[in-house]
Amino acid sequence: MKILVLNAGSSSQKSCLYELGDELPDQPLQPIWEAKVDWTHHQGVAEIEVKTQHGATLKGESPGDRSTVIAHMLNLLWSGDTQVIEQPSDIDVVGHRVVHGGQDYRESVRVTAEVKAAIARLAIFAPVHNPANLEGINAIEKALGSVPQIAVFDTAFHSDLPLATQVYPIPYKWFERGIQRYGFHGISHRYCADRAAQLLHRDLSDLRLITCHLGNGCSLAAIRDGHSVDTTMGFTPLEGLMMGARSGSVDPGILIYLLRQEGFNADTLDQMLNQESGLKGVSGVSADMRQIRAAIEQNKPRAKLAFDVYIHRLRAQIGSMLPSLSRLDALVFTAGVGENSPEVRASTCEAFEFLGLKLDDSKNSHNPKDQDIATLDSTIRVLVIKTQEDWAIAQECWRMLNHSVN
């Protein structure tokens, strides 16, 4: 079975083609073809980078809208130096990461006209992501016709959060109108929970985990017996941890003050909170943790302050997850910062030494991947896991197609 995965963002897209047999493997497979598309550097022009399992590579540019660029990208699957299939009909199914499934979609679904309408409707909750996800679905329809498409929702993993976690302390009528904690990064959190159980040789149904997805966007999930019971992102991906350019949670009174006293409106607040805050806003340097660390080495005090605020809020919110779990078996770090910053991992874990957590400094500093970096006598395991959302989406597609056939 050949499964194409589209993981679309507002200004970028990653696509992978996997080939699976009759049995779903325990270990993640490498894609036989993958492409990255980036619209950030030139207006109306996409940069495309493609590579295959056998080492063929291609870099180029493609003008046009998302539909046109995707059509060009797909053509590289069955033609030219990066060809890995004979024809479009060789693709059995296409899976899409869709950020917001709202209250309606608690698991992956086959894309229909009704599902597309729901993704469009829910764009009001995820205006940066859902429209891009829908454009990808429409582009595949245009390029590949009636090939089955599966929507895999980032919110689905958190759909069974306890009501006490879902409901905000505002008038209940707003909960009835859909304003609640949804949670995001669910595909990543679920994958890391499953992978943690594999690495620890434990049954997921008996594990208590906190997974830390730390990238440009950041969120935590408290996972008990295989289910998300708490998470830091909420009604939108803006709540929770300090992020690259997003503020995370702030006193809502600040926002009222800015509206009343400083001439802000909804658009300027949105711009500030989503694009000018977080590491970028405090440091004045960058939203990228690597550049923050470099600036700290150059003795730039605001970069050090940004790092300290980031760690303080990360520790505090990890601590807030603990009561939902009663015990903690493993702390999991994943995504760009979580996988690649030993300083973030060490500074975070230091706060939990009182629980018996002991980090192995040597393992932590040597680029660990899918590895336990705690000492042998640590009461809590510390895992670094490479998140593989694309593989997780491919697995969902395989299960759904095999279930429908069987």
Active-site amino acid positions: 154
Residue type, 81: D
- Residue found by looking up tokens 């969120």 in the block: 219
DSSP secondary structure, 340-386, as one string: H-HHHHHHHHHTTGGGT--B-HHHHHS--SSEE-B-TT-SSEEEE--
Angle, helix 389-405 to helix 186-200, in steps of 10 degrees:
90
Helices (H), ranges, 177-265: 186-200, 252-261
Rounded to whole angstroms, how far apart are CA atoms 276 and 330? 33
What span, in angstroms and rounded, lies between the C-alpha atoms of 261 and 299?
35
CA distance 318 to 312: 10
Distance CA 315, CA 352 (A): 8
Q: Quick count: other Cβ atoms within 10 Å of Cβ 394?
A: 28
